[in-house]
Structure 1
Amino acid sequence: MRVSPRWRDLRKICNYQLFSTKTLDGSQALRRRKLQNLLDDIERCSETQEAVDIGKVAFKTTINLLSNTFFSADFVHSAEEAGEYKEIVVSILKEVGAPNLSDFFPRLKYFDLQGIRKRSIVSVKKVLNIFKRFVADRLKMREGTGSIGNDDVLDALLNISLDDGKIEMDKDEIEHLLLNIFVAGTDTTTYTLEWAMAELMHNPEIMSKVKKELEQAVGKGIPVQETDIANLPYMQAVIKETFRLHPAVPLLLPRKAEIDVQIGDYIIPKDAQVLVNAWVIGRDPNKWDNPNVFLPERFLDSEIDVKGHHFELIPFGSGRRICPGLPLAIRMLPLMLGSLLNCFNWRLEDGSNAGDLNKEDEYGITLEKSQPVRIVPIKVTK
């Protein structure tokens, strides 16, 4: 969507209704509950020495956090159910990120030669139908009671749609806005946490440093609170290093030139699609020492952050199109990663060693691990 009054309205909704500091501060208790649900699930696995699929449990936590924020209800109720929905989300993102002949030869877009559009529509409809049911049920409830009972994001959006104010939004736009946020939000957080755990399992000395910092700042075996995050610089450095090596969206989201633009010696013609390769930027030897080495220490004495101010590290993009969910992501990732490390020790299943853990990528619009991280939790005693 081009920058327009409509785009600005949608951006305002994200910035001021969904991801504002006030909104996120008011939902801390919800994040604590969802985090505790995650830890309870993992503790049950530790009692039976069952391996945990980090991607599935992270996806379940993230999607239920968003669904409670939006609908006041859990979206999934088991890791198996989460896995099914995760496959749908992954299929959407793989199709969106797949090389498409029609991007290079626009006249071919009507033929859908690769079947990308057909497969995308099938997956999108599965998720969209769920949102349609939530919206329809809420509208029916509001008509029956004549009141707003949940005071959640869906109610806020419905209030906007019924208000005669400056922002116009109909039911279809609400459903598609929620779809975009769900797909983007669950996916990126899940993959970043999965990659962080994979790197720490590969680098046990770094994991030991993180666990030591957590024990000193939080207390052994205690879940991390949002107020603890500022006191965990090494863990924050681990997350930044994960973003550097494994940006969840390696080519960011496509941009389009509105006019002819010259950047250095290059002419970017009007209407050309532009992709920013955050993956390559994060491994540029001109910007980073030992760029292919997982080394969180590089960020300890650095002012570089992930908020779009430093172009050598832009996993969320930059400028006015920066990811609107960034404020939530930078709260959730330290909570989840810190609590997993502080409440449990971890080993690979079946007596494998760290060198056996697969670290290959699988490309879509997001950077997914080709093999899931499955590790066995061992509960830490306080």
Structure 2
Amino acid sequence: MEATSSNFTLSTILKTEDPYSSLMLAVAALVAIFCYFWIQGKAKSKNGPPLPPGPWPLPIVGNLPFLNSDILHTQFQALTQKHGPLMKIHLGSKLAIVVSSPEMAREVLKTHDITFANHDLPEVGKINTYGGEDILWSPYGTHWRRLRKLCVMKMFTTPTLEASYSTRREETRQTVVYMSEMARDGSPVNLGEQIFLSIFNVVTRMMWGATVEGEERTSLGNELKTLISDISDIEGIQNYSDFFPMVKDDDEKAPLSLTHVKSLLMDMVLGDSIVEESHLPKLPYLQAVMKETLRLHPTLPLLVPHRNSETSVVAGYTVPKDSKIFINVWAIHRDPKHWDEPNEFKPERFLENSLDFNGGDFKYLPFGSGRRICAAINMAERLVLFNIASLLHSFDWKAPKGQKFEVEEKFGLVLKLKSPLVAIPVPRLSDPKLYTA
């Protein structure tokens, strides 16, 4: 009898065919899991308000099995409609907070700006950025302030940008020349590659005086864009140690109405001439197109994830120290409480208000807000508008035979087109000399 008792172990229970015993074990397991997370939640907020609401996590892995990295911004939007604009998500043992309304964004990026001024550096980012020493990933402090001051006071001031106008003009003209050469044969052009290369040349010329011309332009443009794209993809990848610190080792909605832009403004303002930056203030609809495109398709849909340096209370909820903070700009820009017909492309909405890129109004944050707002907004606005205006005024554009323009997104740290924007340029200016360098 003693031998029989000593051999009556847990494995014996698990092998029993008694359905009642199996049911009791399942119930006991569920109760244990519930108690674990209840105790954990109480421990984290026992000295203050509760944690924000959120979906119920699994043990150890949290909510990771239910998240799709290809549509994370839209998943977060759907979840916050159920749990609220300040929501918690368990990424393994890492607690993340998702901010999805202008009011909550104001709390994090203005009211508690200093507390949330760090960026959450992933393990992969430490390799790509020499330990996170660049301006993007550096923690808020003396080193970051020095880098920020260098950019704002030396590189992107109005006098510096005005002094570099000839560089931007020359590079944009080179792009127009290249497009006209491709137009002779009716060859399609990858617009993303060419605009990227034009901007890359401007930046390198400002810093080192180097540029890329001739036959190298196409091949190098493709290689550089692919390289930068791969780096941004890698930095958006989460390592196991990011989740478990203990294991460290349609055409109607196309974002550009070319006919509208040209018929209303381009020809009236410019006539048969080349575009100059001085023309840009006279093209308010083009500026509205840029703003509306960034509203619907923000470059950083979740911004760069922030991290709080100390435990804080936000909107009555406890946000524990070192939480990963996602600002869901993609969802904020489509909030029906603040935007009329939020999923429709309507540039005219920006003709009726004074919204800009400076992050002062928290319903529109394409470049972020607060201390970590993008330092190069002025340069980005000039470069993009100048390129778009020049390409629209110099050419008509048509899709390659059998293809159509798509605006489907590919999610990542940086939001991209799922399919490259490829189009055939058709010269539209009457003077051929305008297509020469």
Length-normalised TM-score, structure 2 = 0.64
- Structure 2 residue ranges without an equivalent (≥5): 1-137, 431-437
Q: 2:405 aligned with 1:357, yes or no?
A: yes
- Give the superposition deviation at 1:381: 2.0
> Superposed, which structure 2 residues align to 1:133-282 within 5 Å?
202=254, 206-212=257-263, 213-220=265-272, 222-282=273-333
SS at match of 1:301: coil
Once residues 286 and 221 of structure 2 are traced to their aligned partners in structure 1, the CA distance between those partners, rounded to angstroms, is: 27
- Give the superposition deviation at 1:306: 1.3
Question: Is the contact between residue 349 and residue 375 of structure 1 (CA under 8 Å) also seen in structure 2?
Answer: yes
Question: Is the contact between residue 236 and residue 413 of structure 2 (CA under 8 Å) also seen in structure 1?
Answer: yes
Q: 2:389 aligned with 1:338, yes or no?
A: yes
Between 243-252 and 264-273, report the one with greater CA deviation: 264-273
Q: 2:232 aligned with 1:93, yes or no?
A: yes
Q: 2:432 aligned with 1:381, yes or no?
A: no
Once residues 365 and 253 of structure 2 are traced to their aligned partners in structure 1, the CA distance between those partners, rounded to angstroms, is: 25
Question: Is the contact between residue 346 and residue 377 of structure 1 (CA under 8 Å) also seen in structure 2?
Answer: yes
Once residues 333 and 211 of structure 2 are traced to their aligned partners in structure 1, the CA distance between those partners, rounded to angstroms, is: 36
Q: 2:353 aligned with 1:305, yes or no?
A: no
Per-residue CA deviation, residues 109-136 of structure 1 (Å, 9 max, x unaligned), is 32xxxxxxxxxxxxxxxxxxxxxxxxxx
Q: Report the AA paired with residue 231 of structure 2.
A: I
Change (3 A) 1:228 1:95: same
Question: Is the contact between residue 253 and residue 345 of structure 2 (CA under 8 Å) also seen in structure 1?
Answer: no
Q: Which residue of 2 aligns with 1:317?
A: 368
- Give the superposition deviation at 1:375: 0.6
- Give the superposition deviation at 1:75: 5.2
Question: Is the contact between residue 255 and residue 289 of structure 2 (CA under 8 Å) also seen in structure 1?
Answer: no
Out of 52, 56, 64, which is 2:201 matched to? Answer: 64
> Superposed, which structure 2 residues align to 1:98-113 within 5 Å?
98-110=237-249
Question: Is the contact between residue 251 and residue 406 of structure 2 (CA under 8 Å) also seen in structure 1?
Answer: no
Q: Which residue of 2 aligns with 1:138?
A: none
- Give the superposition deviation at 1:57: 0.5
Once residues 144 and 206 of structure 2 are traced to their aligned partners in structure 1, the CA distance between those partners, rounded to angstroms, is: 23
Per-residue CA deviation, residues 159-192 of structure 1 (Å, 9 max, x unaligned), is xxxxxxxxxxxxxxxxxxxxxxxxxxxxxxxxxx
Per-residue CA deviation, residues 220-262 of structure 1 (Å, 9 max, x unaligned), is 4x33211111111100000000110111111111211111122
Per-residue CA deviation, residues 66-96 of structure 1 (Å, 9 max, x unaligned), is 1111110015731221111111111110111
- Give the superposition deviation at 1:358: 2.5
Once residues 303 and 255 of structure 2 are traced to their aligned partners in structure 1, the CA distance between those partners, rounded to angstroms, is: 28
Change (3 A) 1:264 1:203: closer
Question: Is the contact between residue 223 and residue 338 of structure 1 (CA under 8 Å) also seen in structure 2?
Answer: no
Report the aligned-residue RMSD. Answer: 1.8
Length-normalised TM-score, structure 1 = 0.72
Per-residue CA deviation, residues 40-62 of structure 1 (Å, 9 max, x unaligned), is 11011111110110111111101
Q: 2:104 aligned with 1:52, yes or no?
A: no
Once residues 94 and 199 of structure 1 are traced to their aligned partners in structure 2, the CA distance between those partners, rounded to angstroms, is: 27
Aligned residue pairs: how many? Answer: 290
- Give the superposition deviation at 1:100: 3.5
SS at match of 2:202: helix
Question: Is the contact between residue 345 and residue 377 of structure 1 (CA under 8 Å) also seen in structure 2?
Answer: yes
- Give the superposition deviation at 1:209: 1.8
Out of 144, 152, 166, which is 1:15 matched to? Answer: 152
Q: Choose 1 or 2 for highest CA Rg.
A: 2
Change (3 A) 1:79 1:350: same
Q: Report the AA paired with residue 210 of structure 2.
A: A
SS at match of 2:426: strand
SS at match of 1:270: coil
Change (3 A) 1:272 1:201: closer
Change (3 A) 1:379 1:2: same
- Structure 1 residue ranges without an equivalent (≥5): 111-197
Once residues 387 and 230 of structure 2 are traced to their aligned partners in structure 1, the CA distance between those partners, rounded to angstroms, is: 25
SS at match of 1:275: strand
Q: Report the AA paired with residue 307 of structure 1.
A: N
Q: 2:82 aligned with 1:31, yes or no?
A: no
